[in-house]
Amino acid sequence: MRHFIRNSDWILIVVILLLTGIGLVLIASATHGEALASGSNRFVWRQGIFLAVDLLMVAGVLALDYHSLKRIAWPLYGFTVLLLLGVMFFGHASLGAQRWIQLGPVTFQPSEFSKAFMIICLAAFLDERNEYLEQWKDYLPACLFMLVPFVLVLRQPDLGTALVFAAIAFSMFWVCGFKMKWIAALTGAFVCAAPVLWQFLHEYQKNRIRVFLDPELDPFGAGYHVIQSKIAIGSGMLWGKGWMQGTQSQLNFLPENHTDFIFAVAGEEFGFMGAVIILFLYMILIWRGLTIALNAEDRFGTLLATGITGMYLFHVLVNVGMTIGIMPVTGVPLPFLSYGVSSLTTNMLMAGVLLNINLRHTRLQF
């Protein structure tokens, strides 16, 4: 216990607790109308209960040596593939997608947990092949390694989570020495292949890209979310309208206000200053993640911390970007703020792994 108190990254711990606390406050506001109608805010209670459970699980993660994750990487990879196949055959469909598995009263989203699992699996895979990653073709086995879960998630369809896999892989490849000229070549290849890839998108995904370019193209359909989100954030001005005083969220003009668009609730009720504080907390989160990656005692720890930090960064950039209209709308939640048991648990467990890596580093700190 004394070792934990002395060597823990307390800045990271405080930031995560602040973000989860702000998340509960925002969820309470976003679901206030339903709470009044039902007499109980089930969303806040559910998120709060699972947060308490997740904190206990984080304590368990800290008691283990993160190196033990490397030994279970291949069984974990097989379990991830089976879990995603289970969604395909036994999944619960909602909102036009089949992404959930229901076990009695519990419904969870395997693709959320698969992010954490694939960070562990890919870190172990790359660590074993570190000496052979000198040419671009040396990264092809790792790409094929990620391809199976990527395709299974994409088929649900869940383009947002599939892109998170790509962001995780890219961040780890970068640490392994993936060169800028290779990135430029991949970017050029993607641009050339874009017309072909367009044909494989679902119609709703095409509409999201169209309204990203022009939200007024379908203001009462695909563009409705973005338009209402921008109105909510803009109406908050400098200091916001106050907690539970937002019109767009309280009157249900803003869809998915407790999940994907919770940042818009923050912008409306806490204003520009509140949004800046939240973004500042995320900046500290990314900074601490990168610091832990740089100071890890071995390459496996560096890859793990980099993948986790890359996942957080991608989530923040895409979620905040879509709420202010500079990114297409995807189902990517905001870490620690958005409602969602699966998302919260994944993010908390990965935060536990970050803290575990920090506890066991051996480099001197100044």
Instruction: Output the pLDDT for position 109.
Output: 83
C-alpha 220: how far from chain center:
28
- On the question of pLDDT at 161 being above 80, the answer is yes
- On the question of pLDDT at 214 being above 90, the answer is no
Mean pLDDT of 191-197: 77
Q: What are the pLDDT digits (tens) for 57-100?
A: 999 998 888 999 999 999 999 999 998 888 877 766 665 566 77
Per the CB < 8 A criterion, the answer to whether 12 and 288 are in contact is yes
Which SS3 state, helix, strand or coil, does residue 200 take?
coil
Per the CB < 8 A criterion, the answer to whether 135 and 177 are in contact is no
DSSP 215: G
Token duo for residue 287: 């900074």
Instruction: Output the pLDDT for position 100.
Output: 73
Instruction: Output the pLDDT for position 363.
Output: 44
> What is the pTM assigned to this prediction?
0.91
Q: Report the percentage of the chain scoring pLDDT > 90.
A: 44
pLDDT class of 104 with cuts at 50, 70, 90: low
Q: What are the pLDDT digits (tens) for 308-360?
A: 999 999 999 999 999 998 888 887 899 999 998 899 999 999 999 999 999 87
- Say which residues have a Cβ less than 8 Å from residue 329's Cβ, sequence separation at least 6: 208, 211, 212, 222, 225, 226, 260, 322
Mean pLDDT of 44-68: 92
- On the question of pLDDT at 366 being above 50, the answer is no
Whole-number Å distance between alpha carbons of 105 and 95: 19
Question: Would you kindly state where each structural domain of the chain is located, as residue ranges?
Answer: 2-73+170-359
The winner for highest mean pLDDT among 16-20, 157-161, 249-253 is: 16-20
pLDDT class of 172 with cuts at 50, 70, 90: very high
pLDDT class of 114 with cuts at 50, 70, 90: very high
Token duo for residue 85: 């196949």
